[in-house]
Amino acid sequence: MTRFSYRKFFSSFKYAFRGLVRLIATEQNARVHFLIASFAAAMAIGFHITHVEVAVLFFAIVLVFAIEITNTAIEKLLDLVHPENHDQIAYIKDALAGAVLIAAFIAFVVFLLVFYPYFRALF
């Protein structure tokens, strides 16, 4: 059994953070998700939403990012392994994009469910 290495453990966070930064820097949809997530976070702070609402909103945002990261990683891998157009690769990429769309839709519904009462109270 290999001994636990704190250096390797903390290096993994460096690589993960670098991956997130690279994703946001290079992928347009990830930037859009980041801007919307930032807007939702600002609204959560502004409206002083409950801890449960924060948790649900956070989960929805993380779900979108996790699937977007997976989508991007698999797409990059497919482009590397098989750069030519291929029906099966197109199918895989479309399915992955569909997964991101479903996650984004779920996050949008969560956003509406969380913030609707706060908007309604304003008017």
Rounded-to-integer distance, Cα 52 and Cα 57, Å:
9
Rounded-to-integer distance, Cα 112 and Cα 43, Å:
12
Q: Token digits for 4?
A: 């636990």
**CA atoms within 13 A of residue 58's CA, in its CB half-sphere:** 8
Given 53, 68, 75, 84, which residue is catalytic?
Answer: 68
Residues 6+ apart with CB under 8 A from 57: 40, 44, 49, 110, 111, 114
Is position 68 annotated as part of the catalytic site?
Answer: yes
Handedness of CA 37, 40, 46, 49 (dihedral sign): negative
Active site residues: 68
